Structure 1
């Protein structure tokens, strides 16, 4: 039997451990995203690290450094260069919006005249000057936001480089000592080994599915559509390619949310051949990438429902920033898995939910009072 003194000591130790852990997390909160990314990327590059280690005769440190250099050269450097191009084109697109509207008011007038022919529509249409004013305000606001983002990115270069250093440094230790670190963490989690393994498997499978399913397919769809934009003269091809890469997670619509308006714009400005070409390329090639590649890339990896992927990706981007494209679905998968484990652990006390038809069939109709035919005055 545990004495009161021992029980008090155990509780005090638990409170102390939680308090110190909370203080430590608050202290390193600025680096948590970098550490999470390091864990994700070290897991994805571990096969490469093991192959290099075998080729270098078990020289683990050299293999880890070589892996990090390859990540820098193949992934990080091109991503930084492309991001600079995207931001630059985003500013140009936003500033050109009002100019294009002012230079194509004949087209606006033609569209307005056709809309006025529809009964009752004319009462709800804004006048010409209001259209110009709204377009100018929209472009100015968007341009201001993007310029501020560019300025913030420039001013935050030192912080970005420091975060990159933390991520790469953490990756080095995760690559060389990953299994030992993971075993230690799992040892401290008070869950059955089966549940711990289930969480770990879910994390790995969803991470792999997110990287291969959302990221790779998004980059392919955005890149192919952006290539057609660049070839046929759509302004800001790199910017729109990035937008389409993000929107590729939207079920059914995806990249069409961007390339369909682009086709309409090309046709409306008289570029008939370009509009038809972009429409055919995006509709036949870009549109089939997801259906053709996703089953082959994702395979047996765990997939979340499309709605949950959509919400977790956009929510992750809002909460974590750009890296939320990866971290959002991972958090959602762990959320679902934890509640599945909870449901199994407390299944004997949770109420059983019957199918709706079965509940309706088993529930007798309420007794109605007998009808009274007498007349009351």
Structure 2
């Protein structure tokens, strides 16, 4: 039987191997070309619509908020999706948008009044002798007097920053009124279609993600829970704190109470300390003006009632769904506001939750590469030396161990007694 020569076989089929290599190269080049074209055209598309990305994101958030109402309405209307979506938008316009526009008008008017009244007050306060006369009513007057120049300079810097912010914001709001109206129309138009086709869009996005179904559902659940918690909890807590604080400011005799209540509602997104950034300076101003009774009552009301709303309601409305540490919520909210503006209230915690989720997915996927952690934190106070556990244990064992000299005698007596009880013992 003849044995086939492998070298001759390779020499006899050079064309087939080269064809396979050529085919593999063509497939790889084709896949790489499609990938590069996908990335390039997608980058071009998103750069083209980047001015509308924030509006689209907010449309998605509010569509998710109104989704249960839309589904019930669609069922009640017999599956008329377009009519159900239109009625949902009209309800949101009359319930949310019109009152919000009215509130913004009041806040803008009071913001102008604040910017016009605070600056002259600080200028007057910086005049010689005026500051000392204003703080003479304080019980700690002698302690504050050495820091007069520092307090005046810091107050001037703060008022200057606030004035620039208010003037710039009001100017941009006045000049961009047409743009605001246009963006509101774009947002409502986007929400109209997201109510009907949002589930199809989410399904298509998940299809294009090269992830396992479990990972996709984990990220989607995290996105949904954080969005729901932020919209439900943050907005409700902010509205309640701002309303109560505004009423308290009006009763205490503070001007422009609606403006300051709105500022507190916005700052309430910062856990634990947000509302205090408004009412503590208000209490200090009342004390400087000599209104000690109003200052004490305002401090008690805001500290015990307004502040407790955050501590009581946030774990119930936000913490249960968002499942993030308060420190993470704090930094993500501040970072989101500084990067994205007001929409960062929602975007910051969402990015933080996705950050935590992706690291959990990393730990699950690569757990076979990650070593086990063998570390137990000690409960002793910082700086206190560790107790001599081995010495105490040895001492305890030594104390509990029987003494050889004591145990030897009973053993002899026991042997003697046993011998005495044996038959035939004399």
| TM superposition score normalised by structure 2 | 0.75
Question: Is residue 369 of structure 2 the alignment partner of residue 343 of structure 1?
Answer: no
* Residue 87 of structure 1, CA deviation: 3.1
Q: Which residue of 1 aligns with 2:350?
A: 330
Is the CA contact (8 Å cut-off) linking 1:266 and 1:274 kept in structure 2? yes
Q: Which residue of 2 aligns with 1:280?
A: 300
Question: Is residue 242 of structure 2 the alignment partner of residue 219 of structure 1?
Answer: no
Is the CA contact (8 Å cut-off) linking 1:87 and 1:146 kept in structure 2? no
Q: Helix, strand or coil for the counterpart of 2:93?
A: helix
2:77 to 29, 45, 56: 56
- Structure 1 ranges of 4+ moved more than 6 A: none
CA distance in 2, matches of 1:117, 1:272: 18
CA distance in 2, matches of 1:117, 1:296: 43
Is the CA contact (8 Å cut-off) linking 2:70 and 2:85 kept in structure 1? yes
CA distance in 1, matches of 2:162, 2:110: 12
Is the CA contact (8 Å cut-off) linking 1:316 and 1:325 kept in structure 2? yes
2:136 to 97, 110, 114: 110
Q: Per the alignment, do residues 15 and 285 of structure 1 end up closer, same or farther by CA in structure 2, a change over 3 Å counting? A: same
Q: Which residue of 2 aligns with 1:363?
A: none
Q: Per the alignment, do residues 300 and 110 of structure 1 end up closer, same or farther by CA in structure 2, a change over 3 Å counting? A: closer
CA distance in 1, matches of 2:58, 2:258: 25
Is the CA contact (8 Å cut-off) linking 1:313 and 1:329 kept in structure 2? yes
CA distance in 2, matches of 1:357, 1:323: 39
* Residue 11 of structure 1, CA deviation: 1.1
Is the CA contact (8 Å cut-off) linking 2:106 and 2:258 kept in structure 1? yes
Is the CA contact (8 Å cut-off) linking 2:336 and 2:345 kept in structure 1? yes
Q: Which residue of 1 aligns with 2:149?
A: 126
Question: Is residue 103 of structure 2 the alignment partner of residue 77 of structure 1?
Answer: no
CA distance in 1, matches of 2:337, 2:202: 27
How do residues 184-203 of structure 1 correspond to structure 2 at under 5 angstroms?
184-203=204-223
* Residue 159 of structure 1, CA deviation: 1.7
How do residues 82-101 of structure 1 correspond to structure 2 at under 5 angstroms?
82-101=103-122
* Residue 28 of structure 1, CA deviation: 0.6
Is the CA contact (8 Å cut-off) linking 2:324 and 2:353 kept in structure 1? yes
CA distance in 1, matches of 2:346, 2:244: 21
Q: Which residue of 2 aligns with 1:365?
A: none
Q: Helix, strand or coil for the counterpart of 1:126?
A: helix
Query: Which moves more between the two structures, 338-347 or 251-260?
Result: 251-260
Question: Is residue 208 of structure 2 the alignment partner of residue 182 of structure 1?
Answer: no
Question: Is residue 326 of structure 2 the alignment partner of residue 313 of structure 1?
Answer: no
* Residue 217 of structure 1, CA deviation: 0.7
* Residue 202 of structure 1, CA deviation: 0.1
* Residue 21 of structure 1, CA deviation: 0.7
RMSD (Å), alpha carbons: 2.8
* Residue 25 of structure 1, CA deviation: 0.7
Relative contact order, higher structure (CA 8 A, sep 6+): 1
CA distance in 2, matches of 1:136, 1:15: 55
Q: Helix, strand or coil for the counterpart of 2:369?
A: coil
Q: Helix, strand or coil for the counterpart of 1:301?
A: helix
* Residue 246 of structure 1, CA deviation: 3.0
1:232-260 alpha-carbon deviations (Å, 9 max, x no partner): 32122222212222332444433123213
* Residue 93 of structure 1, CA deviation: 2.0
Larger radius of gyration: 2
Kindly tell me the number of residue pairs found equivalent between the two proteins.
353
Q: Per the alignment, do residues 280 and 263 of structure 1 end up closer, same or farther by CA in structure 2, a change over 3 Å counting? A: same
Unmatched tracts of structure 1, length 5 or more: 359-377
Q: Helix, strand or coil for the counterpart of 1:58?
A: coil
CA distance in 2, matches of 1:109, 1:294: 38
1:302 to 317, 322, 347: 322
Is the CA contact (8 Å cut-off) linking 2:272 and 2:307 kept in structure 1? no
CA distance in 2, matches of 1:317, 1:253: 16
Q: Helix, strand or coil for the counterpart of 2:246?
A: helix
Q: Per the alignment, do residues 55 and 231 of structure 1 end up closer, same or farther by CA in structure 2, a change over 3 Å counting? A: farther
1:262 to 259, 267, 282: 282
Q: Per the alignment, do residues 251 and 179 of structure 1 end up closer, same or farther by CA in structure 2, a change over 3 Å counting? A: closer
* Residue 116 of structure 1, CA deviation: 4.8
1:31 to 36, 40, 52: 52
* Residue 355 of structure 1, CA deviation: 2.1
